[in-house]
Amino acid sequence: MTLGALLPTRRRSLTTRIANRIKRNRHRRAIVTLARLRGSDFAECATRYIREYGNRNVSVLFDSDTGRYVVKDGAEHRFTDPGRLTYYVDGLEARGDRLFEEYLLGAVPFEDGDSVVESGAYDGDFVLALERTGKRVHLTSFEPSPENALTARLNQSARPFLLSAETRQQALWQTTGESMAFHLKVDSADSSLIPIEGAAGTIEVETVRLDAAVPRRRHRLLKLEAEGAEPEVLAGAEGILDQFDYISADLGFERGVRQESTLPQVVNFLLPRGFEVVSVGLPRLVVLFRNCAGGRS
């Protein structure tokens, strides 16, 4: 029997509140400590943090050969920026389940051998969601940042359910061969071709139209995430849109300094081209479109 069980109800409630406050303060101190660390020191502290506040079976290592952090949870998954640690505290399966739900993949009838195209791979976490489908698929990803593109490639290579996979270090846009400033906000994965507030800097990236970058054949899904540049990506995909069965588009409030949603532009673009809205996911504001032209499903 615990001491708490012997205390009167009011006293026990006060004891619980004090214990929770102490835990919150410890949690804040742990976050502050983690923010100061890098490399192996960060990985060691991150493992202790996860063991206390998340999944006790998860650990973090630092791979000095690649400069990446490695989440070990049965399988391995890499991430570039220490600020992304909180996405993995409950383990890789939980991260995959969350992304599977956020991108509404349960409404997509995946089959073995399907082709998936991804705009905005970042570190390649989308493979964790695709793995939840239980199907073996081909994946083509686009990620402008060289650091994140390398991490995505490493994560793709570690997933045997992928029949083939590649991450192209290009920015999907409405033109091909243009050199543009890519505004970096890596800690929150909000880097964009659209000027944004709080960017840590810019790099020059090469643009490519989607209809010039992937073969004209049937694709099960386009995962569209461009941090506010979704209308431009779709404009550059017009010549191949009819080959996609589904489009899962992140249309949250991320466009430019004013942080606007691209929902109106994307819906108005896709509906006249034979797509219909299947589902809407909140609060992230992901919209799943189905190509209903020509009996596709």
Q: What is the pLDDT of residues 55-99, one digit of tens each?
A: 999 999 999 999 999 999 999 999 999 999 999 999 999 999 999
Judgement on whether residues 173 and 213 belong to the same structural domain of the protein: yes
Left, alpha or beta for 96 (phi > 0: left; psi -120 to 50: alpha)? alpha
The secondary structure of 83-111 as a DSSP string is: GGGGGGTT-HHHHHHHHHHHTTGGGS---
Same domain, 51 and 182: no
Sequence-distant (≥ 6) Cβ neighbours of residue 168 within 8 angstroms: 140, 141, 142, 143, 149, 208, 213
d(Cα 133, Cα 212) in Å, to the nearest integer? 28
pLDDT for res 228: 86
What's the confidence (pLDDT) of residue 232? 96
Q: What is the pLDDT of residue 202?
A: 84
Residue 39 and residue 215: Cα distance in Å, rounded?
A: 40
Query: Is the same domain home to 250 and 108?
Result: yes
- Looking at the fold, whether 190 and 255 belong to one and the same domain comes out as yes
- pLDDT at position 195 is 77
Residues of the chain with pLDDT under 70: 1-12, 14-15, 18-20, 22-23, 185-190, 256, 294-297
Regarding whether 194 and 63 lie in a shared domain, the answer is no
Same domain, residue pair 67 and 209: no
Give the whole-angstrom CA distance, residue 269 versus residue 236.
12
DSSP 223-285: EE--TT-HHHHHHTTTTTGGGEEEEEEE-SEEETTTTEE-HHHHHHHHGGGTEEEEEEETTTT
The encoded tokens of residue 5 equal: 């069980």
Task: For residues 268 and 24, give the distance between their C-alpha atoms in angstroms, rounded to a whole number.
Answer: 45
Q: What span, in angstroms and rounded, lies between the C-alpha atoms of 163 and 252?
A: 31
One domain, residues 142 and 46? no
Domain boundary among 41, 59, 86: 86
Amino acid at 23: K
On whether both 237 and 115 belong to a single domain, the answer is yes
Burial of 74 (0-12, 13-18, 19+ CB in 10 A): exposed
Cα separation, 33 vs 98, whole angstroms: 27
Q: What is the pLDDT of residue 229?
A: 92
Domain limit, last residue, from 86, 108, 124: 86
Do 70 and 168 share a structural domain?
no
pLDDT of residue 103: 98
Which tens digit of pLDDT belongs to each residue from 6-49?
Answer: 445 555 576 677 666 766 777 888 888 999 999 999 999 999 99
What one-letter code names the amino acid at 21?
R
Are 178 and 45 part of one and the same domain?
no
Among candidate residues 40, 70, 86, the one where a domain is terminated: 86
Q: How far apart are the first and last CA of the chain?
A: 59
- For residue 98, the enclosing domain spans 94-295
Q: In this predicted structure, what is the pLDDT of residue 187?
A: 59
Same domain (yes/no): 35, 112: no
Strands 244-250 and 219-224: parallel
Same domain for 274 and 214, yes or no, is yes
Work out how many domains the chain is built from and give that number: 2
CATH number at residue 154: 3.40.50.150
